[in-house]
Amino acid sequence: MISFIAAIFLDILFGEPKPFFHPVVWCGTLTNFIDKKLKHNILNGVLLVSIVLIFSQLLVYFVNILPLIFSIILSIFFIKSSFSISSLYEHVKKCDTDDIKKLKHSVSMIVSRDTSSLKKEELYSAAIETLAENFVDGVVSPFFYYLLFGLNGIIFQRFSNTMDAMIGYHNEKYEKFGKFAARLDDVLNYIPARLSIFFFFLFNPKGVLNSVKKYGGIKLNGTWSMAAMAGLLNIKLEKKGFYSINPNKNFPNRLDLKKALTYYIFISLIIILMEVLLLCTTLKMLNMEEMFHFRGLIFQYL
């Protein structure tokens, strides 16, 4: 509980840790090393994922066996490294510009598509799509698994998501080798992707519901939050050749991007408050169970 709150403050005050001290960077380094050593087939893809995830849990085990003060400090550090509220905001905020050259460069840093031929409204769309999709990967999903499984859960989810980002591609090189990493990330994000809709729904119930019902299922997970964001802002989001959400609406402009960032901050704050309340409730319930167990022992010996 203390570790979680401290991690939130660290994220607000300092943002992302330096790469050398970042567990996600360690995950990426290990994944890249194994990637170069193994032949690219399905079984070796499973082996890579298994090795990296075992490593993630060994890190947590190491944290847990340390003296309490060091364990708390490292827990704060690991939790902070496993979500990306400030980092995602800062990257998308750089797209808040009318300068087409700067806009193309900033968007190219957060999407895989070629931005050189995109129009300004398509660039704003790409930025908002990234904000909405990574809201699940970087906020909802980590907090969901921390609530369920503590440090083990949030590290497991973050390492899984990192592997998917590195090798979970539909191309000749990674189609087989990265399949298990991609499917695991799909499974882990299945519930969080759908839970994310609720937070957009709070601000525009009708718009979000209509958009999600029509377009949320275009992709297994990725388009649920995008459809919710599009419905919230009453805009069109499109990646040509892949999906078009609310095709009868207008593409977003710069003001829509500003609105998306504002909603992102408000929704993230709501999620943090809910997480803290749920953690407090869980701790209270556990303490009550311990109290009743202790009373039972007393009566047993009376």
In which domain, by residue range, is 34 found? 2-301
Q: How does pLDDT run across 137-193, given as a tens digit for each residue?
A: 999 999 999 999 999 999 999 999 999 999 999 898 999 999 999 999 999 999 999
Q: Which of 73, 58, 215, 196 is nearest to 134 (CA)?
A: 196
Confidence of residue 298 (pLDDT cuts 50, 70, 90): very low
Q: How does pLDDT run across 234-250, given as a tens digit for each residue?
A: 999 999 999 999 999 99
Confidence of residue 128 (pLDDT cuts 50, 70, 90): very high
Distance of CA 128 to the CA centre of its chain: 15
The torsion angles phi and psi of 176, rounded to 5 degrees, stand at -90, -45
pTM reported for the whole predicted model: 0.90
Q: Give me the number of domains the chain comprises.
A: 1
Q: How does pLDDT run across 59-114, given as a tens digit for each residue?
A: 999 999 999 999 999 999 999 999 989 999 999 999 999 999 999 999 999 998 99
Predicted pLDDT at 244: 97
Longest CA–CA span in the chain (Å) reads 81
> Residue 231 and residue 221: Cα distance in Å, rounded?
17
Q: Which long-range contacts (CB under 8 A, 24 or more apart) does 95-102 make?
A: 95/123, 95/124, 95/127, 95/257, 96/254, 96/257, 96/258, 96/261, 97/254, 98/254
The DSSP output letter for 239 is E
Beta carbons within 8 Å of 88's beta carbon, 6+ residues apart: 131, 134, 135, 138, 139, 264
167, 48 in Cβ contact below 8 A? yes
Predicted pLDDT at 286: 66
Predicted pLDDT at 170: 87
Query: What mean pLDDT, rounded, does the chain reach?
Result: 92
Structure tokens at 230: 């599009």
